[in-house]
A and B are shown apart, each in its own frame.
Chain A
Amino acid sequence: MVSAVMSAAEPRAVRRRAWLTNANAWLLLLPAVVLLATFTHYPILATLYHSFFSLSRGGASEFVGLENYTYMLEDDVFWQVLRNNIVFAIATVPTSIALALLMAVWVDKKMAGRSFLRLAFFTPTVLPMIAVANIWLFFYTPNYGLLDQFLKSLGFAGHNWLGDPSTVMSCLAAMVVWKEAGFFMIFYLAALQTIPPELKEAAEVEGASRWYFFRRVTLPLLMPTTLFISINALINSFKLVDQLVIMTKGGPNNASSLLLYYIYEVAFTFQDTAFAATLTVTLIAILAAVALTKFVYLDRRIHYQ
């Protein structure tokens, strides 16, 4: 009789304790879960949902299946901004990485004024994009901007840098590289300082030149950083559009518009939220694909210490 009571009570106590542990864990997770769900997961799902419905100006919206997506594929502006974005990424990602690496290797050396140089390279990063865009707007201003003043002193004619579809992308790319490279330099600098100095000495004893050491040891050891930076730079090239608001508004004739800026226009200028949702889903799909490539493919091919 007594033993029967005991054996029934014991598992109940154990189960109760397990339940308390679980409840405790969930309570601790709750704030983060609520925030993530409200501001990340729910909006993504809602966007996906809306992209399958027609626009509801006043009346009820109705399910239209993939109609919004077919419309998108037929939209010339969509293709243009996508092309712009790809060109922009190709122009900014490798250049800012190369520049960041160059600066990092330079300021990693023991030399006078090193801290000052590091600070100078890092400054563009701490400036807000809006401020940077205003500064560069002045550089590019036709006739009395810095660039034109300089060219005129050399005897060249002035040029409307941001007003010309053939130069506007290069101008924006140059500015973004200037802004981003300093930030990426910090990552390279940190990575360079984790490479033990004995490796350099060992290579020196073996007779390796500095260039050989850089190519065969430094670069491979920096690969994880390079990967991290390139993913970030790529995502940034789709994410950063503040400069367009200040400098070009996507013009002239959409020559400098990027995907995210186009979404902003469609949603808030043209008030077409259904189409904006469709474009957003496309953008998220592109970014997710980039992240996935890193996790499943590149990670396996890189040496991590």
Chain B
Amino acid sequence: MSEIVVNAVSKTWGGVGGVNRISFKADAGTLLVLLGPSGCGKSTTLRLIAGLEEVDSGTITIGGRDVTHLSPAQRNISMVFQSYALFPHLNVAENIIFGLRVRGVGRAERDARLRKVADIVGLSHLLERKPSQLSGGQRQRVALGRAIIAEAPVCLMDEPLSNLDAKLRHEMRTEIRSLQQRLGMTMVYVTHDQTEAMTMADRVILMRDGHIEQNGAPHELYNEPASDFTARFIGTPPMNIISWEAGAVLGIRPEHISLVENGGVPATVKAVEYLGADSIILCDVKGETVSVRQTGYCDLPTGAQVALGWQNRHIHLFDRDSGKRRAGSHLPHRGFPLNERQ
């Protein structure tokens, strides 16, 4: 099986950018998402796995084979580029079978596989078109087709859905995930869209400035963020981070806060964002902004005085300086001033 092991890999350009001693493992047949803000080293990591960049130090193995110094072709991978990288002079069919042709696969087999793949990505009726005659989503599916026709055990995708509209993005997300599971591929998927990460991944690696901030299943990143950075990155709107006693900050998700009748923390409504299924109430608490999620429509006027309450089991505590999660931070602390919700 083709698990990918990245061990203490570094890559910089003259000491800047790139990644710094990252280690992780993608189990065979699973989908690993690399998530993080722009410029954190996601593409670099992917290109290192693909062999398009040379590592400065560290090793990469695929399926137990050390591929650190092998060429991209020898690594037996397929890749979807962020910019699609379609050959503009070749039509859809020729683009998809480019790799098969390179490897000298016979015509009959080529045609059969093309038919199958074109059907999967829904391009059967567009095989004669040139990339310039396709919409963005169609081009993206050509790139996808070219990657999956190889039937390589490892597939790497660099923000393959970044240019699509919300509906197409949702469709393609489902399509890619089911394809990956059907073909049993090991997939590394780069995105800076956390919705994509949460919905598709078996495991998410959150990166920041060239190192790994947290590596875990989607629910672990959401429910037990290892740092205030993770807490702020995962979730829309992100977790509220409020100053707390000396040396610590307190985190609480918007959906875990509610407006209470008596007791609670006094707050002033600054704005209300109506999202359809629910509303986000932005409140001011002693100069800090706290967002509260409420189901349905909310018609609180700006400037209204409200009181906020939450249960202590939903609280996360982080170290103020290091940003690290504090052990046992779910437990209520000594001298906790906020009211327990009744």
Contacts and interface: CB of A to CB of B under 8 A. Distances in A.
A97 B261 CA distance: 84
Nearest to A201: B52
A39 B102 CA distance: 55
B150 A206 contact: yes
B222 interface: no
Contacts of A205: 50, 52, 72-73, 77-79
Contact of A202 (B81, B89, B132): B81
Contacts of A31: none
A196 B83 contact: yes
Given A196-B83, A198-B81, A204 B89 contact: no
Contacts of B103: 206-207
Interface residues of B, number: 22
B102 A202 contact: no
Interface in B54-87: 71-73, 77-79, 81, 83, 85, 87
Chain A interface, DSSP helix/strand/loop, else mixed: helix
Nearest to B150: A206
B150 A201 contact: no
B98 interface: yes
A129 B253 CA distance: 77
B85 A207 contact: no
A208 B104 CA distance: 11
B102 A207 contact: yes
B37 interface: no
A199 interface: yes
**Which of B79, B88, B103, B130 has most chain A Cβ within 10 Å?**
B88
B99 interface: yes
B72 A201 contact: yes
Interface residues of A, number: 17
A221 interface: yes
Contact of A221 (B50, B89, B99): B89
B158 to A, nearest CB: 10
Nearest to B152: A205
A193 interface: no
A217 B101 CA distance: 13
B87 A207 contact: no
A198 B73 CA distance: 15
Contacts of A201: 52, 72, 81, 85
Contacts of B50: 205
B139 to A, nearest CB: 13
B89 A207 contact: no
Interface in B102-138: 102-103, 130, 132
A305 interface: yes
A144 interface: no
Given A202-B79, A212-B102, A303 B88 contact: yes
A43 interface: no
B102 A204 contact: no
A120 B99 CA distance: 38
Given A205-B72, A207-B99, A198 B89 contact: no
Given A207-B103, A208-B102, A202 B85 contact: yes
Nearest to A217: B87
A220 interface: yes
A102 interface: no
Nearest to A213: B102
Contacts of A198: 81, 83, 85
B72 A204 contact: yes
Nearest to B74: A207
Interface of B: 50, 52, 71-73, 77-79, 81, 83, 85, 87-89, 98-99, 102-103, 130, 132, 146, 150
20 contacts: A196-B83, A199-B85, A199-B87, A202-B85, A202-B146, A203-B98, A204-B52, A204-B71, A206-B78, A206-B98, A206-B102, A206-B146, A206-B150, A207-B102, A208-B73, A208-B102, A220-B89, A221-B89, A303-B88, A303-B130
Interface of A: 196, 198-199, 201-208, 212, 217, 220-221, 303, 305
By Cβ-Cβ distance, the 7 closest A-B pairs, closest first, are: A206-B99, A207-B73, A198-B85, A202-B85, A303-B89, A220-B89, A208-B102
